[in-house]
Amino acid sequence: MWRRLGTIVLVGLVAGLTVVAALRLLPPGPLGPAVPPGATVLAEGPSSPDPADLTPEERLLIGVYKKVSPAVVHIASIALAYDFFFNVVPQAGTGSGFLIDEQGHILTNNHVVEDAKSLEVTLADGTKVPAMLAGRDPNNDLAVIKISVPGRRLPVVPLGDSGALQVGQFAIAIGNPFGLDRTVTTGVISSLNRSLRAESGREIRGIIQTDAAINPGNSGGPLLNSRGEVIGINTAIFSPSGGSVGIGFAIPVNTAKRLIPQLIATGRARHPWLGIGGVSLSAQLARALDLPVEKGVLVAQVYPQSPAARAGLRGGQRRVRVGNTNLVVGGDIITAADEKPVESMDRLIAYLEDEKGVGQVVGLTLRRGKETVRLSVTLGELPEQP
C-alpha cells in the first residue's frame, strides 16, 4: 500500500537493463518564507525596461504571466497527525491551484487537500479566504475546492486542449514552490502519453512530461501553453534528491475537463468497474503457462457480487510460480472488449474509462480452455477506497 506523499516506483527498460527510479508526488510544500501579499517573482525593478528592448519570447512570457497569475492561488491546508505519544499534532502544508470559473471553483491536486481538516486560499492580492472541498478524484489525483468572495469578480484561467500537444512545444508553469507565491518557470513539453500510478493503484494515462522547473508546493498549479491556456495540472516530479531535476509531470487538462462537472455536481467521479483482478499476458508468460493466446488479460480473481461475477466470468483456481512471480492461473482470458483487441489490464481499464460509463454494457470475448466464449457485462461503479 502506498503511503500518501510517498514514492512511486517507475520501472523502465534501458539497453536491456531494468532501471528503478523514485517518482515523487509533489507534496504540499512546507510553509515557506514569508512573502508580502501580492508579491511576485516578476516584480519590476526600479525602472521598467523599454518594451523595445524585450525579445519576442520575453514579451510572450510576460503577457502570459500577467494574464494568468491573478487566477493562480496559494492553498494552505491543516491536517491532523499523531506524535509518538499519540497526541494530536496539526500539520500545515501548502500547494497551488487556479480558478476555473467566476463562482469560485478552484482546480488542484487531490493530494494537496486530502485529509485536510481546514483549507485557506490566498488570492493574488493577498486576500485570504476559507475554502471548502467541492469534490475529489483520487484515481486521477484531482480535486475541486470552492471559495466565496461576495461582490468581487474573480479572474479565471482558460482551459486548453491537451489532445493537440506536440513534443517541443513551449510550456509555462506558475505555482507556489516552497511557499513562494506565483513563481513562473519555463521549458518545453519533453514527452507525451506517459503513465503514472495514482495512490489508489489506478493508472493515470496521457501524462505530460516537461522540463519546466516544478518543486514541492507547485502541486495543483497550471502548466500552460504560449496562449496562456491550461494544458496540464502539475502533479509529480522525478527526483532522487526531492528537488527539481527537470523531469516533471502534469495531468492532462482534457482528463480534468471530463471530470470537473462530476466533481462539482456530486463531489466525486464515477468510474466504470468490471470487478476482476487480472494479469497482462506477454508472449513469454503465455509460453511458460502453455496458453492458447499471447495477448490479453488472464483473470486471476473475480470479486464476489461484482458485475463480472454476475455475468459469469471465472477466476483462477491454482497457483503456479513463473520465475520469481506467483500467479493464479486457470481463469478466463479476456482477448477483446466490444470486438476491440485487449492487450493488457491497463488497456482494458482505459477502454472502459474512455468509452463506457457506469450502467452500460460491454461485450467481452474470452478464451476458456479451448473454447471461445462471449459474455455481456453490465458495468458497475468502482468502489471508493476506504
Catalytic site residue 111? yes
Catalytic site residue 290? no
For the chain, the straight-line distance linking the first and the last C-alpha, in angstroms and rounded, comes to 12
Q: Quick: pLDDT tens for 370-383.
A: 899 999 999 999 88
CB count in 10 Å sphere of residue 264: 16
Element (H, E) at 329: strand 325-329
Give the residue with greater pLDDT, 315 vs 9: 315
Q: What is the pLDDT of residue 204?
A: 84
| Candidate list 69, 219, 239, 306, residue with the active-site label | 219
Q: What is the pLDDT of residue 88?
A: 43
**Mean pLDDT across the chain:** 81
Residue 217 pLDDT more than 60? yes
Residue pair 336/375 in contact by the 8 Å Cβ criterion: no
Q: What is the pLDDT of residue 21?
A: 41
Rounded to whole angstroms, the Cα distance separating 101 from 244 reads 31
Residue 201 pLDDT more than 50? yes
Cell of 137: 478524484
Q: What is the pLDDT of residue 234?
A: 93
Share of the chain above pLDDT 70, in %: 79
Q: What is the pLDDT of residue 312?
A: 94
Query: Per residue, what are the HEC states of 51-108?
Result: HHHCCHHHHHHHHHHHHHHHHEEEEEEEEEEECCCCCEEEEEEEEEEEECCCCCEEEE
Catalytic site residue 344? no
| Candidate list 74, 105, 111, 271, residue with the active-site label | 111
Q: What is the pLDDT of residue 33?
A: 42
Q: Quick: pLDDT tens for 136-176.
A: 999 899 999 999 999 889 999 999 999 889 999 999 999 88
Q: Say if residue 198 is exposed, middle or buried (CB neighbours under 10 Å; 0-12, 13-18, 19+).
A: buried
The SS3 call for residue 233 is strand
Rounded to whole angstroms, the Cα distance separating 337 from 356 reads 11
Residues forming beta bridges with residue 341, ordered by sequence position = 336
Tell me, what DSSP letter sits at residue 29?
A: B
Please give the average per-residue pLDDT across 254-275, as a whole number.
93
Q: What is the pLDDT of residue 370?
A: 86
State how far the alpha carbon of 152 is from the alpha carbons of 15, 119, 145, 147, 148, in Å.
57, 20, 18, 12, 9
Residue 240 pLDDT more than 50? yes
Q: Quick: pLDDT tens for 329-361.
A: 889 999 999 999 999 888 898 899 888 989 999
Q: What is the pLDDT of residue 50?
A: 65
Residue 195 pLDDT more than 80? yes
Tell me, what DSSP letter sits at residue 41?
A: T
Lowest mean pLDDT among 29-43, 117-131, 181-195, 211-225: 29-43
Rounded to the nearest 10 degrees, how much is the dihedral formed by the CA atoms of 31, 36, 39, 40? -30
- 7-29+162-266 CATH pick, 1.10.443.10, 1.10.3210.10, 2.40.10.10, 3.30.70.1520: 2.40.10.10
Instruction: Give the CATH class of 272-381.
Output: mainly beta
pTM given for the model:
0.74
Please give the average per-residue pLDDT across 273-281, as a whole number.
92
Domain residues of the chain, as ranges?
A: 7-29+162-266, 272-381
Residue pair 77/96 in contact by the 8 Å Cβ criterion: no
Rounded to whole angstroms, the Cα distance separating 190 from 129 reads 36
Band of pLDDT at residue 286, cut at 50, 70 and 90: confident
Give the residue with greater pLDDT, 39 vs 288: 288
Handedness of CA 48, 54, 58, 62 (dihedral sign): positive
| Residue ranges in the chain assigned as alpha helix (H) | 56-68, 110-113, 253-266, 283-289, 307-311, 345-355
Residue 362 pLDDT more than 60? yes
Place of cell 495512490: 199
| Candidate list 137, 141, 211, 332, residue with the active-site label | 141
Q: Quick: pLDDT tens for 49-98.
A: 666 788 888 899 999 999 999 999 999 887 645 555 555 444 556 789 99
Please give the average per-residue pLDDT across 16-35, as a whole number.
45
Please give the average per-residue pLDDT across 29-33, as a whole number.
46
The full DSSP string for 109-121 is -HHHHTTEEEEEE
Please give the average per-residue pLDDT across 29-42, as a whole number.
43
Residue 292 pLDDT more than 50? yes
State how far the alpha carbon of 277 is from the alpha carbons of 163, 232, 271, 280, in Å.
30, 31, 16, 10
Residues forming beta bridges with residue 105, ordered by sequence position = 146
Residue 9 pLDDT more than 50? no
